[in-house]
Structure 1
């Protein structure tokens, strides 16, 4: 049985939706960013500060290679996972890919709650988010389903994903 993979920009609800979806489906939940932090014994902001973004992106590629081999998991990825075509290919090869989106204002509000986003720890945060959204929007288009989470709760998003999975026959069989 294929994985359910959540992609999307930071602050679109991948982790909160992923946890709820995994619980509802009775599947394990994997957050690639959290797994990278646990295995590296440092946070992503620390990684960016000490080693730089390129180091983190390499760790992310390695993690995607590993988790894309899993079956029956719900996987939440980092927002930049789509920057590398090999990540996209791996995730798609054994997964139903769901892109979560949100408006610029919602993303700014959600990502402003914590100071844990290394790409956004800048005074021109709104401009950076707007530019990154524009640059990445097409990269999320390969998804099997796209859901705007701006005005939806994680419960509503989860319900929509489950409906899609049922209608597509993706929930048949055993995990």
Structure 2
């Protein structure tokens, strides 16, 4: 059976699960382009994510996110894509990811996520009590990442171990 060669490896997961770090290492190892969805949104919109949230609200941000994700996924280049944590909330986005790439969900314990993100002031969804917000959002999104082809718990793993686990599970054609 002929398969299309894989051109997109899409990393999804809650904030602080390692998408950005793992995507960099994975792209280096595969000699593919690395695309960070949030960085791409900021570049194309010429605004920070926090400014988009402030001006357009989360709903406005999500519209932009879908448009940018579609552009990234339909490009011809082989790419490792790190999505924003909430990109999976849209069914359109989930369908795009599944149809255009191999989707890997990264997850971690709430304690580990909090330890990783608690001092990050660039996360608009964490304003206020970070511990409370992380636990609330994790509860709201507990099944949001279930559609992935592969799920890896990064809680007790180094970024290198996560990359090796992804490559061991998926043969890049």
TM-score (norm 1): 0.92
Tell me, in whole angstroms, the C-alpha distance in 1 between the residues paired with 2:115 and 2:51.
23
Structure 2 equivalent of residue 9 of structure 1: 14
Structure 2 equivalent of residue 73 of structure 1: 79
Offset at 1:121?
Answer: 1.3
Displaced runs of 4+ in structure 1, greater than 6 A? none
Offset at 1:55?
Answer: 1.4
Offset at 1:109?
Answer: 1.1
Offset at 1:51?
Answer: 2.1
TM-score (norm 2): 0.93
Q: Deviations over 1:64-97 (max 9, x none)?
A: 1111213521111000011110000001101100
Tell me, in whole angstroms, the C-alpha distance in 2 between the residues paired with 1:121 and 1:154.
27
- Report how many residues are paired: 167
Query: Gapped runs of 5+ residues in structure 2?
Result: none
Is 1:126 equivalent to 2:131 in the alignment? yes
| SS state at 1:98 partner | strand
Offset at 1:16?
Answer: 0.5
Correspondent of 1:91 among 93, 97, 108 = 97
Aligned alpha-carbon RMSD (Å):
1.1
Query: Gapped runs of 5+ residues in structure 1?
Result: none
Q: Deviations over 1:152-171 (max 9, x none)?
A: 111110011111112xxxx1
Offset at 1:106?
Answer: 0.8
